[in-house]
Amino acid sequence: MTEKYVGQRMTRTEDPRLLTGQALFVDDVEIPGMLHAAFLRSDYAHARLRSIDVSAARNRPGVVAVYTAEDMEDAWKPCPPLVIPPPTVKGVLFHARTQVPLVKDKVRLLGEPLAVVIAESRYIAEDALEDIVVDLEPLEAVVDLEKALEPGAPLVHDDLDSNLAAHLIQKKGDYAAAREKADVVIKRRIVIDRCAAGAMENRGIVAYWDEKSQQLTIWDTTQAPIPIRNGLAGMFGLSSHQVRVIAPFVGGGFGPKVMMFYPEEVLLTWATLQLGRPIKWIEDRRENFLATTQERGQVHDAEIALTSDGRILGVSHTFIHDTGAYDPYGLTIPLNTQSHAMSAYDVPNYYSELKVAFTNKMIVTPVRGAGRPQGIFLMERLLDVAAKELGIDRVEIRKRNFIPPDAFPYNHEIIDQAFAALVFDSGNYLAGLEKAAAMIGYDQFIKEEQPRLRAEGRHVGIGIVSFVETTGVGPYEGARITVETDGKISAATGVGTQGQGHFTSFAQVIADQLGVSPRDIRLVTGDTSEFHWGTGTFASRGSVVAANAIHAAAKAVRTKILKLASKVLEAPEEELELVDNQVRVADIPHQSISLGELAVMANPLRGAVEPGTEPGLEATAYYGPQYGATASGSHAMIIEVDPETMMVEIKRYVTVEDCGTMLNPLIVEGQVHGGVALGIGNSYYEQLIYDENGQLLNASLADYLIPTASEVPRIEVGHEETRSPLNELGSKGAGEAGCIPVPALFAQALEDALADYDIEILEAPMSPNKLFALLQGKEKE
C-alpha cells in the first residue's frame, strides 16, 4: 500500500464554498415562518430573583411568546452533567452542580438567562426584553478564587457547606522523601487567569419541530452534534431517530462549542416543541463574552526539588481551579493540568492536590489548550527559576531531564482526563528541542548577538521551552464509507468540523486505500442523519480517533472491493490493484473494472445473493484508542521590549512540532500558526477582567484584544515525526499544541529581555501594564 495522498500538502476541497460565500453557517439557515429568540440576561453575578413580570412583553405586537422558568413547569430541570469523574478515582470528592435553562430562584453568574422572548424578528424580540420588569436582590459575589474557599465566604450553591466543588490528590512516588534528599528546593506561587476562546462566529441555534413529520431538526454551532442529539432526545422524550442535529460549517470552535447543554440549546428546543415553528437564536458578541464558557483560572503553590546538577527529584503543587458557577465538565481541565505538570520530563516523585472552587463567574470548560497551558507554564517556570538559581543553561537543564526516547511507553503513574493511566506512547523530546535551538540560533544569539545589542542599550531576549500535548483520547469515533454507483465515494463521520480541514485530510486517508482522488470523495461531518455514533471534535482527536476510524472503514471497503473484483476479473485478490477509480490486474492493466460498475454489481436488483454477504460496497468501522497519543514540541522566540511602553516586538518565532504522521502538513502548519496566535493573545494581550462584583469589564472586542496581523509574527515551523505506535496511521493530534507553551515562552523571553531588572514572571497572561508594574521599584542593575 503506497501512501500517495497521506502526507501531501493538499489544498482543501472545502475552500471554494467558503471563499465564495456559499458555505452554510447556522445564521444562514432561513425557513419560512421562522421566529427569533432573544434572552433577558442578569446584570448581576449573584442575586436572588424576587419577581419577574413579562406581561408587557407578551403584549408587544410581533411577540409570539415569552417564557420564564415558571412557564416551563416540569420541563425545567438542571442540565445533565457532561463528564462525571467515576468513583474509580481514589478519594475523589465531586459535587455536580449543573446549569439551568432559566433562573428560577437565584442568579449565579453574570448574564445567566432570566427569560426568553420569541418574536417575529430579532429586533422585536430585543425590544420586548426592555418591557420585562425584573426584581433582583444583589448578593455578595464570589469572584476571587482563594477567597471563594475561605470560611464564611458567600455560597454559590446554598445547599453546599462551602464553595469547594471537588477535591482530588494525585501522587507518584514519595515527594516528601525526595524533598529531603534534594540539594535545592524552589517554591513559587503561580497564577493563571481567564481568557475567552474568541471564535469569530458566535454561537447559534435554529430549532424546528415539524408536527406533521414528527421530526425535530436542530442546526447548532456545536462541536459535538451527536451527544447533543442524544441528550435532547432524552430530555424531551423523543426517539433519537426523530432528532437530527446538524453542525454545518462552524466558524471556529476552540472548545466552548463542545459544552452542553447551553441554556439556549434546551430552550429553543423546548420552545419549538411548544410552538411548532422554527426558531433562530444567534448569539451577539456581548453575549459571547457573557454566555459562552471560558477557561484557565488557577492558583498554584508549587515546589520543585532538584539535585545540584539540575536533575528533577520531584514536583509538588497544591492548586485551586476555578470552575465558575457550575461544573458540567467535571474535572477534565484540572486533570489535564496535572497530566502536563510533569510535561516531557522524567519526574520520579510528584504530589498534586487539587481543589476546585465554585465562583460567580461564567462556567469553565475547555478552551484550546484545556488545562495543558497551565501545567506547562508551571513546570517550565519552575525549571527556569531552577536553572537560574543553579547557574545552568535553560536548554541544558531541560536536556538533563527529558524522558529518553527509549523509555516509551512511559507511565507517569497518575490518571489523565479520560480517567486512563497517564502513559506517553512515544516521543523524541531532545531532538525537538535541539532542532528548535538550531533553527533560532540559540547559542549564537546568546554568545554574540544579544551582548552586542545589549551594548547598544536594547532590551532583546530569547526564550526556549518544551511541551507535550496529550491528544487523541477515547472513547471512540466511527465512519461509514460507500462506493457510489458513479464510482465516487461517500463518507460520513460523526465529528463536526470548525475549520480543521477534515473534508480534505480525511479524504486523503480514504483516497490512499481506494485508489481514487480525494476530489472524488464527498465527505460529511457533523450531521447525525448521516452518521450517528460518536462523541465530537475536541482534545485534538480528529486526526487520531476519527481519521483512524475512517482508515479502518476504508480498509474494510477495500477488502469488499477486492473480493468482488477477484470474482469478476477471475484473478486472485493479491494480483489486483486499485488505481484511477478502477480495479485492475496488476500485470494486465486492461483487465479491469471501474469502481462504479462494481458498486452496481454489489447491489443487484434481481438474482440470488450469497448467504452471509452484505449488499453494496460499504463499510462502517470504529476506532477507540487504549489511551491517548502524546504529541510534543519546542518553541523559541526572540523579542525586543521597549522599556518605555512595554510593547513587545517578536523578531523571530520558531516551533518544532511532533504530531506523528502528518496527514496533511499544510493543514498541520495552519493549526500551529493559529495556536501560536491564540497563545500570544493568552500571553500578553487577552485577559477577562472581572471586578469584585463579578462584572466583566472588557466584554467587547474593542476592550478584549485578540491579536491582529500586527502582533502575530511570521512563524517558522519545523517538524519531527515520531509515529504513534497506538494507531495504524501513526498520527497524534495537533490542534492545541500551538497555544500550549506560549505563556511559558513569553515569561522566559520577557525575563531575558529585561535581565537587567532581574524580574520573575509568575503569572499569565502578562500585559504591558502588568510588566510596567513589575518593573516599578526594580532598580536597573
Candidate residues 25, 236, 533, 757; the one interacting with another protein per rule CB under 8 A: 25
Is there binding between residue 667 and another protein (CB under 8 A)?
yes
Instruction: Supply angle C-alpha 702, 706, 711, rounded to 5.
Output: 115
Pick the closer one to another protein by CB: 11 or 411.
11
Pick the closer one to another protein by CB: 15 or 389.
15
Site for another protein in 714-733 (CB under 8 A): 714-715
Q: Which three cell numbers stand for residue 412?
A: 507517569
Give the nearest distance from C-beta 254 to another protein in angstroms. Answer: 7
Candidate residues 67, 94, 249, 623; the one interacting with another protein per rule CB under 8 A: 249
Is there binding between residue 32 and another protein (CB under 8 A)?
no
- What is the Cα–Cα distance from 195 to 206, expressed in whole angstroms? 28
Site for another protein in 542-581 (CB under 8 A): none
Is there binding between residue 59 and another protein (CB under 8 A)?
no
- What is the Cα–Cα distance from 254 to 252, expressed in whole angstroms? 6
Residue 524: alpha-carbon gap to chain centroid: 21
Beta-bridge mates of residue 574: none
Which of the 8 DSSP states describes residue 684? Answer: I
- What is the Cα–Cα distance from 357 to 373, expressed in whole angstroms? 19
- What is the Cα–Cα distance from 65 to 60, expressed in whole angstroms? 10
Give the nearest distance from C-beta 749 to another protein in angstroms. Answer: 18
Q: What binding mask, one character per residue, do residues 108-147 give for another protein by CB under 8 A, x or -?
A: ---------------x------------------------
Give the nearest distance from C-beta 192 to another protein in angstroms. Answer: 20
Nearest to 485 by CA among 605, 608, 603, 621: 603
Is there binding between residue 702 and another protein (CB under 8 A)?
yes
Give the nearest distance from C-beta 715 to another protein in angstroms. Answer: 6
Candidate residues 677, 696, 729, 750; the one interacting with another protein per rule CB under 8 A: 677
Which of the 8 DSSP states describes residue 741? Answer: T
Is there binding between residue 753 and another protein (CB under 8 A)?
no
- What is the Cα–Cα distance from 166 to 334, expressed in whole angstroms? 10
Pick the closer one to another protein by CB: 92 or 118.
118
Residue entry with cell 491582529: 708
Nearest to 544 by CA among 452, 372, 662, 721: 662
Contact of 611 with 604, CB cutoff 8 Å: no
Q: Which three cell numbers stand for residue 111?
A: 448574564
- 3-state DSSP assignment of residue 130: coil
Contact of 432 with 720, CB cutoff 8 Å: yes
Is there binding between residue 501 and another protein (CB under 8 A)?
yes
Which of the 8 DSSP states describes residue 200? Answer: S
* Amino acid identity for residue 496 in this structure: G
Segment interacting with another protein, rule: CB under 8 A, options 226-234, 386-394, 495-503, 743-751: 495-503
Residue 747: alpha-carbon gap to chain centroid: 23
Give the nearest distance from C-beta 244 to another protein in angstroms. Answer: 21
Pick the closer one to another protein by CB: 360 or 655.
655
Give the nearest distance from C-beta 194 to another protein in angstroms. Answer: 17
Pick the closer one to another protein by CB: 6 or 557.
6
- 3-state DSSP assignment of residue 555: helix
Beta strands in 675-726 (DSSP E): 715-720
Instruction: Supply angle C-alpha 514, 516, 519, rounded to 5.
Output: 130
Candidate residues 154, 252, 596, 643; the one interacting with another protein per rule CB under 8 A: 252
Give the nearest distance from C-beta 11 to another protein in angstroms. Answer: 5
Give the nearest distance from C-beta 649 to another protein in angstroms. Answer: 12
Is there binding between residue 33 and another protein (CB under 8 A)?
no
Pick the closer one to another protein by CB: 7 or 62.
62
Pick the closer one to another protein by CB: 131 or 669.
669
- What is the Cα–Cα distance from 599 to 615, expressed in whole angstroms? 9
Is there binding between residue 41 and another protein (CB under 8 A)?
no
Is there binding between residue 214 and another protein (CB under 8 A)?
no
Pick the closer one to another protein by CB: 68 or 221.
221
Give the nearest distance from C-beta 27 to another protein in angstroms. Answer: 7
Nearest to 113 by CA among 76, 140, 59, 84: 76
Site for another protein in 600-659 (CB under 8 A): none
Q: Helices (H), strands (E): how many in the chain?
A: 20, 30
Is there binding between residue 518 and another protein (CB under 8 A)?
no
Pick the closer one to another protein by CB: 184 or 706.
706
Candidate residues 113, 248, 251, 297; the one interacting with another protein per rule CB under 8 A: 251
Candidate residues 1, 2, 33, 61; the one interacting with another protein per rule CB under 8 A: 61
- What is the Cα–Cα distance from 486 to 480, expressed in whole angstroms? 18
- What is the Cα–Cα distance from 119 to 108, expressed in whole angstroms? 27
Is there binding between residue 187 and another protein (CB under 8 A)?
no
- Decide: residue 630, CB within 10 A, 0-12 exposed, 13-18 middle, 19+ buried: buried
- What is the Cα–Cα distance from 424 to 403, expressed in whole angstroms? 10
Is there binding between residue 709 and another protein (CB under 8 A)?
yes
Residue entry with cell 504591558: 768
Which of the 8 DSSP states describes residue 495? Answer: -
Candidate residues 426, 500, 505, 682; the one interacting with another protein per rule CB under 8 A: 500
Contact of 277 with 34, CB cutoff 8 Å: yes
Q: What binding mask, one character per residue, do residues 80-109 give for another protein by CB under 8 A, x or -?
A: ------------------------------
- What is the Cα–Cα distance from 336 to 372, expressed in whole angstroms? 6
Pick the closer one to another protein by CB: 645 or 708.
708
Segment interacting with another protein, rule: CB under 8 A, options 390-398, 429-437, 493-501, 518-526: 493-501
Candidate residues 62, 441, 596, 643; the one interacting with another protein per rule CB under 8 A: 62
Pick the closer one to another protein by CB: 138 or 665.
665
Give the nearest distance from C-beta 54 to another protein in angstroms. Answer: 21
Candidate residues 700, 758, 760, 773; the one interacting with another protein per rule CB under 8 A: 700
Nearest to 104 by CA among 19, 187, 47, 146: 47
Pick the closer one to another protein by CB: 248 or 310.
248
Is there binding between residue 55 and another protein (CB under 8 A)?
no
Is there binding between residue 185 and another protein (CB under 8 A)?
no
Number of residues that bind another protein (CB under 8 A): 59
Distances (CA, A) of 374 to 267, 496, 699: 34, 27, 23
Pick the closer one to another protein by CB: 613 or 645.
645
Residue 72: alpha-carbon gap to chain centroid: 33
Beta-bridge mates of residue 39: 116
Give the nearest distance from C-beta 241 to another protein in angstroms. Answer: 30
Is there binding between residue 20 and another protein (CB under 8 A)?
yes
Q: How many CB atoms lie within 10 A of CB 538?
A: 24
Pick the closer one to another protein by CB: 139 or 650.
650
Instruction: Supply angle C-alpha 535, 537, 541, rounded to 5.
Output: 95
Beta-bridge mates of residue 345: 402
Pick the closer one to another protein by CB: 17 or 77.
17
Following DSSP, what letter does each residue of 222-260 receive, concatenated? -S-HHHHHHHHHHHTT--GGGEEEE--B-S--SSGGG--
Segment interacting with another protein, rule: CB under 8 A, options 27-35, 238-246, 724-732, 756-764: 27-35
Site for another protein in 260-299 (CB under 8 A): 284-285
Chain residues that interact with another protein, rule: CB under 8 A: 11-12, 14-23, 25, 27-28, 30, 61-62, 123, 197-202, 249-254, 284-285, 498-501, 666-667, 669-670, 672-678, 700-702, 706, 708-710, 712, 714-715, 738
